[in-house]
């Protein structure tokens, strides 16, 4: 088993949201690179980073922080948060990110997901949030009628990571 530490970025800071609420923030560090190095020093073999501002806007807001992290770490990392087009995926992969995690867009735009998986085989993951047995989207705000099993079945033939 591999435990993957996560760093959530909001306004350039490392934070944790309370129940997914953007207004209920606990700040853990003002230095995302130092936090990433801390996790690596503790033996992490992989890192998960979420651009919370990008998740809200649909535009990467922390690409410079993420690129700085990739330049300092020797472990791979994956990034999620607001990835809604292949140009964003390309930008993350170009700056050294190992894989990207697509959430809501993967569930709402099957054509985008298929195109991304085809263009970037094994570099695209799907992030599935589950609330009361059903898949939640839009940062846990909307619960769909899909079960995780239905989502798995619909993507099983894609070259996902």
**Could you tell me if residue 155 is inside a domain?**
no
**Could you tell me if residue 146 is inside a domain?**
no
- Biggest alpha carbon–alpha carbon distance for the chain: 42
Query: pLDDT tens, 109-135?
Result: 999 999 999 999 999 999 998 989 999
Which helix (H) or strand (E) segment holds residue 29: the answer is strand 21-29
**Could you tell me if residue 135 is inside a domain?**
no
Domain that holds residue 110: 6-128
State residue 19's pLDDT score.
65
Q: Which residues have a Cβ under 8 Å from the Cβ of 157 and sit 6 or more positions away? A: none
Residue 43's Cα: distance from chain center in Å? 21
Question: Which CATH number covers residue 31?
Answer: 3.20.20.70
Which of the following is catalytic: 8, 11, 31, 53?
Answer: 8
**Could you tell me if residue 54 is inside a domain?**
yes
The answer to whether residue 31 is catalytic is no
State residue 141's pLDDT score.
80
**Could you tell me if residue 154 is inside a domain?**
no
The answer to whether the beta carbons of residues 118 and 127 sit under 8 Å apart is no
């809200």: which residue's tokens? 56
**Could you tell me if residue 124 is inside a domain?**
yes
Model pTM score: 0.91
**What is the total count of domains within the chain?**
1
**Could you tell me if residue 147 is inside a domain?**
no
Query: pLDDT tens, 91-116?
Result: 999 999 999 999 999 999 999 999 99
Which helix (H) or strand (E) segment holds residue 47: the answer is strand 47-51
State residue 58's pLDDT score.
85
The two tokens of residue 10 are 């909001």
**30 three-class SS:** coil
Low-confidence ranges of the chain (pLDDT < 70): 19-20
Cα first-last separation, the chain: 17
State residue 138's pLDDT score.
81
State residue 1's pLDDT score.
87
Which of the following is catalytic: 31, 98, 109, 129?
Answer: 129
The answer to whether residue 129 is catalytic is yes
Distance CA 118, CA 132 (A): 32
């Amino acid at each position: 088993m591999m435990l993957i530490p996560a760093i959530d970025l909001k306004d350039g800071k490392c934070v944790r949201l309370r129940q997914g609420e953007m207004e209920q923030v606990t700040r853990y560090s003002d230095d995302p690179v130092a936090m990433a190095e801390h996790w690596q020093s503790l033996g992490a073999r992989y890192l998960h980073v979420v651009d919370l501002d990008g998740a809200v806007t649909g535009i990467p807001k922390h690409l410079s922080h993420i690129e700085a992290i990739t330049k300092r770490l020797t472990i791979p990392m994956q990034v999620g948060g607001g990835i809604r087009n292949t140009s964003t995926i390309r930008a993350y992969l170009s700056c050294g990110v190992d894989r990207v995690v697509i959430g809501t867009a993967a569930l709402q735009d099957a054509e985008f997901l298929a195109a991304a998986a085809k263009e970037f085989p094994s570099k695209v993951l799907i992030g599935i949030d589950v609330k009361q047995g059903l898949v939640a989207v839009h940062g846990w705000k909307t619960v769909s009628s899909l079960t995780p099993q239905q989502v798995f079945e619909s993507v099983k033939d894609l070259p996902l990571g």
